[in-house]
Structure 1
Amino acid sequence: MHSRLQRTIARPAEFHGFGFLTGADVALRFLPADDGTGIRFQRVDLPGTKPIPATLAHVVPRQRRTAISNGAATVELIEHVMAALAGLQIDNCLVQLNASEAPGADGSSLDFVHVLLEAGIVEQPARREVLVLRQP
């Protein structure tokens, strides 16, 4: 079984773009997070709302996009942000947004990858939890 240390970003990083659904200007900020935190999204335009863990338990049904909610806040179109974090093997990160959706770019995760690489990636003391499928 493959095992490695958890990872986060070394320093905050920002990306600005527009929302595909709303057309609004969207600011997205990646922040380092403690080991064991996971990926969480937080709506800073809704004061007092707690971060939403990017887990299956928080997914809400949408057509042709991925959305998560904690009941008080919802974040839409997170799939390209999640792809960038997963592709770079970043386990822990707080993603803050000032809108209901992640900003669009060229329709891929490439711009997010560049921003995250500029922030730097660091290992953390805790080992990464590995899930193994034993049956299809």
Structure 2
Amino acid sequence: MAQVLVVDDDDDIRALVAMQVRRGGHEVVDVGDPVRALALAGDRSFDLAVLDWSMPGMDGGTLCQRLRQLPHLAGLPVLVVTAFTDDATRQRAAECGAASFMAKPFRLGELRERVDGLVATSSGSQSSP
């Protein structure tokens, strides 16, 4: 069972993503504030992060970079989920270290497949024993 961090400032989207990830058999920590998510990640390990792109205080790209700067999360796979589908946003997400990118709105089945695929390819080195 993977530990998945879900960060989205929209309560409804965050709840939907968290529910779908849990249905896939994973444990979820869901947070609405990227600054709080970064603080939580300081002493917790995760196997995957699912991040919204556009959030107040810190965008998903900056959060991705800052999470991956933590030594215990350096290899953390990140899935960016966003309504911004332009090439520039996709490019910036990749430059920030995102492993995958999904456009909103998304199909729930596609989200679960993407999460499961990223968890499966993760080394698992981020998980707590």
The alignment's TM-score, normalised by the length of structure 2, stands at 0.28
TM-score computed with the length of structure 1 as normaliser:
0.27
Answer 1 or 2: which has greater helix percent.
2
